[in-house]
Amino acid sequence: MYDFLKKNISKIISRKRLIKIEPFLRFVYSIFKAGNSHLCLICNFNISKWIILPNNERICPKCGSLPRDRRLWKLLKTGFIKENITVLDFSPSRSLFRQWKKEKNINYIASDLSANFISDVFFDITKIPVDSNSFDLIICYHILEHITEDTKAIKELYRILTPNGHAIIQTPFKDGDIYEDETITSDKERLLHFGQEDHVRIYSIEGLKKRLEVVGFHVKILALSDDDYLGFNKNENIIIVQKIKC
């Protein structure tokens, strides 16, 4: 129902205006979804039932967060969010962007090159226009699978991260080796081979781990289980890397 309303409203107002009023629309919609069966950790809303997408992703009716957003926020709140840190977040979801902006004494910068997300700046991840050692924490969620020159992007993440700083990385993963083919360039072929029109590869966990280690990162892999109450997916993997101070 929410998507139906959003689709029809988008026909009469601009996308920019729709994004601005989206929190209000979701607030009104969420009134009918309140309950005690589930909890969204991002907006702290008690939910009677998740909104279920065709791919079975569970959406929060109030803030619109996806399972990976909620899992990430829980992880961040367990020790990564600290006062006076500088954070760079690539193409964050709107729910997380809005929550980050509520955090006090943190220099949070959101970047997006596609203009599909709310952002503060427009950085090309393969050539980020900032000094080395600029960010204490980097969020790179579902970005690298879009980047043709991913090694250049990984080197840039390493360069701009402060010594002992962390980056939290996630992409879709498969078993076996990384699957990529530079000859696959059309949207139709990429959808068929990589699962989405704008993806250029499918990583394996070990394959991405090796690419991160080659540039100097210390890599830790989290393998996580599901939680229906909090709306987390099963078999979710998150990579945490650190730039170890020499």
For 170-187, the pLDDT digits (tens) are 999 999 999 999 999 999
Asked if residue 1 has pLDDT above 60, the reply is: no
Q: Determine the pLDDT at residue 166.
A: 98
41 shares a domain with 82:
no
Asked if residue 13 has pLDDT above 80, the reply is: no
Asked if residue 54 has pLDDT above 70, the reply is: yes
Q: Determine the pLDDT at residue 55.
A: 87
141 shares a domain with 71:
yes
Q: How many domains does the chain have?
A: 2
58 shares a domain with 140:
no
Q: Determine the pLDDT at residue 23.
A: 75
Residue, of 99 and 19, whose pLDDT is higher? 99
Q: Are strands 58-59 and 51-52 parallel, antiparallel or unpaired?
A: antiparallel
Query: What is the CATH number for 215?
Result: 3.40.50.150
79 shares a domain with 58:
no
Asked if residue 95 has pLDDT above 80, the reply is: yes
Q: Determine the pLDDT at residue 183.
A: 96
Q: Which of 20, 48, 64 delimits the end of a domain?
A: 64
For 67-78, the pLDDT digits (tens) are 999 999 999 999
74 shares a domain with 15:
no
Residue, of 117 and 46, whose pLDDT is higher? 46
Q: Determine the pLDDT at residue 246.
A: 64
49 shares a domain with 73:
no
Mean pLDDT of 30-59: 93
How high does pLDDT run on average in the chain? 92
202 shares a domain with 104:
yes
Q: Which of 19, 42, 64 delimits the end of a domain?
A: 64
Measured in residues, the chain has a length of 246
Q: Determine the pLDDT at residue 67.
A: 97
| Residue 24 CB coordination number (10 Å) | 9
Question: What's the pTM?
Answer: 0.90
Asked if residue 94 has pLDDT above 70, the reply is: yes
- Cα separation, 61 vs 59, in Å, equals 6
34 shares a domain with 107:
no
82 shares a domain with 38:
no
From 20-24, 83-87, 90-94, 157-161, the region with the lowest mean pLDDT: 20-24
211 shares a domain with 89:
yes
Q: Which of 12, 35, 64 delimits the end of a domain?
A: 64
78 shares a domain with 22:
no
Domain region containing 13: 1-64
- Cα separation, 72 vs 67, in Å, equals 9
85 shares a domain with 51:
no
For 196-240, the pLDDT digits (tens) are 999 999 999 999 999 999 999 999 999 999 999 999 999 999 999
